[in-house]
Amino acid sequence: MAMGQFVSPGLQQPEGRDAAQAAVDSINAAGGINGKQIDLIICNDKRDPNQAAQCARDAVSQNVVAVISASINFSDQVLPVLQRADIAYLKAAPTGPDEYSNDDSFPLTGGTLSDAGSAGIAMRTEGCVKPATIASPATSSQFVGKAYGWGYQSAGGAPIDINLTVPLNSPDYAPTIASLESQGIDCVGVAFAPTDMLNMGKVISQTSSTIKVFSIIGISPEEVTSAYAKDGVALTIGSAYPPLADTTFTGLDEFRTDLAAKNVPVNGVSIQGYLGFEVFQTVAAAMTGPITAESFKQALEGSTAVQVLGLEPIDFSKELPVQGYNRVFNPNAYLLQVRDGKVVVAGPPVDTTPVFSFIKP
């Protein structure tokens, strides 16, 4: 089952659903898994916790082998139901606390904590002496701001003590930038929505500020990063993936090809809908005997090097030794930078394991 908030009031993310279908169609066209076709069930939770719980119950009643989450925000409603039926739950990026700790949760990345943590590590390794963070009042934004600080500390830096909160859709970021410069800030971790990221970048460019900006891919989509490149602002991004549209990273060729065949946009939502099926195919193809929820979960737990789309191999047999975040199996994140007008991979993936030890409630 592919489950997510694909079409709902106020949020349209059909590419998560369509990418899941594209992945399954590609696998089936190539002969399926050991000669058997995948039967895909799609359940739209409509951004409704009750509907999400119903999707989970449907997964149980229809004997699905695994649930692939494209963009579920109600895992607290879903995981308890799946756990009683021993159904593995694969999600590209964990968000809820239970996704980091539930025994049936198999996240494919370290999520926002790894992304923002790697950006914080980069602040330290790139020589930032006096960093700061900027976030909106939203809880999720404040959390990202803290994660930058945890990353900076994990790399040997002191706690970041200048953490600004700026209202969303601020009409002018010039006072904020001026304030940072007056305090000698050389780097800033930004936890803003795309529009605010874009507006702040323009101010940095127009004022000829030398402040370096650090962000995560979720709040720095292609249109933002390209604008930063155009304006010449130094930008480093923490991301679970290389740039999705970068054709020089050949590991993503299959993903881009399958989506192009179905006219599905290549973006952060579609990769989440697609990636879990690549993991499913890799693990299931190595199994012998009937593929059931119980046998698949057991095989997944014993898989030590699941490599998909050229990304770092995932060892699902080894938990992270951090309470509350033990279900992180892939703490690696890529650092991306804007160079010559393009977003490129800055180097090998960063292991963000140390970041999780600095997390405070």
pLDDT tens by residue, 285-303: 999 999 999 999 999 999 9
- Stronger pLDDT, 32 or 206, i.e. the higher one: 32
325-356 core/surface letters (b: 16 or more CB in 10 A; e: else): bbbbbbbbbbbbbbeeeebebbeebbbbbbbb
pLDDT over 90 at 105, yes or no? yes
- pLDDT value of position 264: 96
The single residue listed with the structure tokens 């930063």 is 228
pLDDT over 70 at 64, yes or no? yes
Question: Would you tell me how many other CB atoms lie within 10 Å of the CB of residue 36?
Answer: 11
- pLDDT value of position 162: 94
Question: Lowest mean pLDDT: which of 89-98, 125-134, 237-246, 275-284?
Answer: 237-246
213, 225 in Cβ contact below 8 A?
Answer: no
pLDDT band at 308 (very low <50, low <70, confident <90, very high): confident
Enumerate residues 6+ apart whose C-beta is below 8 A from 234. Answer: 210, 212, 213, 338
Averaged pLDDT for residues 69-89: 93
pLDDT over 90 at 9, yes or no? no
Averaged pLDDT for residues 28-43: 96
- pLDDT value of position 104: 97
Percentage of the chain modeled with pLDDT above 90 = 73
pLDDT over 90 at 343, yes or no? no
- pLDDT value of position 311: 86
The three-point CA angle 30-6-26 to 5° equals: 5
pLDDT over 90 at 206, yes or no? no
Q: Which residue, 141, 137, 12, is CA-closest to 71?
A: 12
- pLDDT value of position 48: 94
pLDDT band at 202 (very low <50, low <70, confident <90, very high): confident
Using a cut of 0.85, tell me whether the model's pTM lies above it: yes
Tokens read off for 286: 């190595």
pLDDT over 70 at 361, yes or no? no
pLDDT over 90 at 169, yes or no? no
pLDDT over 90 at 338, yes or no? no
